[in-house]
Amino acid sequence: MKKRIAIFGSTGSIGTQALEVISSNEDKFEVEILTAHSNEKLLIEQARKYKPNAVVIVNEKKYTTVKDELAGTDVKVFAGEASLEEVAAFDTYDMMLAAIVGFAGLKSTLKCIASGKPVALANKETLVVAGDIVMQKAVKKRVPVIPVDSEHSAIFQCLLGETRNKIEKIILTASGGPFLGRKPNFLVNVKKEHALQHPNWTMGAKISVDSATLMNKGLEMIEARWLFNLQPEQIEVIVHPESIIHSMVQFEDGSIKAQMGPPDMKLPIQYALAFPQRIPNDFPRYDFTRSDGLHFEKPDIKTFRNLALAIQALQKGGNVPCVLNAANEIAVYGFLHNRIGFLDMMEIVERAMDKIPFIEKPTLEEYFESDAAARNFAASLIHI
């Protein structure tokens, strides 16, 4: 029996790489659902190639084009934001790959969990915003949440066979991004073209900017807290510019397990889709004899204040990570549209965290309200 995969966010960096993995393993996987925000051309092309049961184009203006282009095929076409939840409730798929970027991925992932379907989770913002609720629902429904994020996939792999052993701490590795070693006098002038050039990974625009500000690592600390049920002080970040060690777990006896490999997102994607199986592939292999060494240093959280702010949010808990995430999404949007500078992003996040009232144990509704309030406030700061 082939595993039927629903890819939410199929036109993005993770989505397209997942389709490559599926193409190379047609005996194991088939595509059941594809969704995109507005790239109708690519969605149509993917639908013709992979013949899913259904596609969603979120941008309703593109509906007619998608519908017309797929007329004569068996593909059902849906449009609009609400359709994401509608198709997430289908019982015709076996696993969701949650690869939508940002808060926009939360509702469909919750619907998938409510329907009892396993999730391969790339969309880290889902856990940053409402990790307590998402994981509680998953545990209650006995739904596996398998991380796709390379660091979390590494930790997940290191923890296999260790259920009875306590974790002393986890060590999340960070490449440091394109501005490693830079100081504010340099960063004040950088433009999106520089920020989008990541040294080791090719990714979507939002996560590339987050990697450049180190917000990505902060979001990943919060993601790890919920995925692995850790206390904030058990999560450490270390800069490792080569991105060969994807993360590590240190146990109570001081022993450290690391998961390693060349930086290629297809590996954690394939691992999550096929779990618990490992499938052979022809991805590049790491050669230790050709290595120039693996290097490690402390992150510079004074310069890259977003990481310090995320640590604060992690420690405070409640709705603070949700506020941090919402303000950051607006700030990154502003930076990508040349409305604000690189350092302004951190300022906006900090001001939103100061402004939005603290809620210690938010309901899902209160998370949505905090998200909206932080977004509105951040947008008012940059006039969008």
Q: Which residues bind ligand NAD (CB under 6 A)?
A: 9-15, 36-37, 39, 58, 99-101, 104, 122-125, 149, 201, 203-207, 265
Q: In this chain, which stretch among 20-28, 146-154, 197-205, 249-257 interacts with Mg ion, using CB under 5 A?
A: 146-154
Nearer to ligand NAD, 96 or 207 (CB): 207
If you count DSSP H runs as helices and E runs as strands, how many of each does the chain have, helices first? 16, 11
Reference 6, options 156, 79, 77, 109; nearest CA is 109
**What helix, strand, coil percent values describe the chain, rounded to 5?**
50, 15, 35
Q: What is the smallest separation between the CB atom of 245 and Mg ion, expressed in angstroms?
A: 13
Is residue 149 a contact point for Mg ion (CB under 5 A)? yes
Nearer to Mg ion, 54 or 219 (CB): 219
Q: What is the smallest separation between the CB atom of 239 and Mg ion, expressed in angstroms?
A: 13
Distance (Å, whole) CA 320 – CA 340: 23
Q: In angstroms, how far is CA 362 from the centroid of its own chain?
A: 22
Nearer to ligand NAD, 109 or 303 (CB): 109
Q: What is the smallest separation between the CB atom of 100 and ligand NAD, expressed in angstroms?
A: 4
Question: Quick one: what does residue 303 bind among ligand NAD, Mg ion, none, with the CB cut-off 5 to 8 Å set by partner type?
Answer: none
Question: Quick one: what does residue 251 bind among ligand NAD, Mg ion, none, with the CB cut-off 5 to 8 Å set by partner type?
Answer: none
* Positions in 150-209 near Mg ion (CB under 5 A): 150-151
> Dihedral of the CA atoms 238, 132, 93, 276 (nearest 10)?
50
Is residue 210 a contact point for Mg ion (CB under 5 A)? no
Q: In this chain, which stretch among 144-152, 177-185, 192-200, 302-310 interacts with Mg ion, using CB under 5 A?
A: 144-152
Nearer to Mg ion, 155 or 381 (CB): 155
* CA angle (374, 371, 212) in 5-degree steps: 75
* Positions in 10-29 near Mg ion (CB under 5 A): none
Q: What is the smallest separation between the CB atom of 111 and ligand NAD, expressed in angstroms?
A: 13
Distance (Å, whole) CA 127 – CA 149: 12
Nearer to Mg ion, 40 or 149 (CB): 149
DSSP sequence for 245-284: EEEEEEETTS-EEEEE--S-THHHHHHHHHTT--------
The residue whose Cβ lies closest to ligand NAD is 12
Nearer to ligand NAD, 39 or 251 (CB): 39
Q: What is the smallest separation between the CB atom of 152 and Mg ion, expressed in angstroms?
A: 7
Distance (Å, whole) CA 33 – CA 216: 28
Q: What is the smallest separation between the CB atom of 207 and Mg ion, expressed in angstroms?
A: 8
Q: What is the smallest separation between the CB atom of 184 and ligand NAD, expressed in angstroms?
A: 25
Reference 209, options 254, 177, 185; nearest CA is 177
Q: What is the smallest separation between the CB atom of 202 and ligand NAD, expressed in angstroms?
A: 7
* Residue corresponding to tokens 């995925």: 227
Question: Quick one: what does residue 9 bind among ligand NAD, Mg ion, none, with the CB cut-off 5 to 8 Å set by partner type?
Answer: ligand NAD
Nearer to Mg ion, 32 or 151 (CB): 151
Positions of E strands within the chain: 3-8, 29-36, 54-57, 76-79, 95-98, 119-121, 145-147, 167-174, 235-239, 245-251, 256-260
Nearer to ligand NAD, 42 or 159 (CB): 42
Q: Which residues bind Mg ion (CB under 5 A)?
A: 149-151
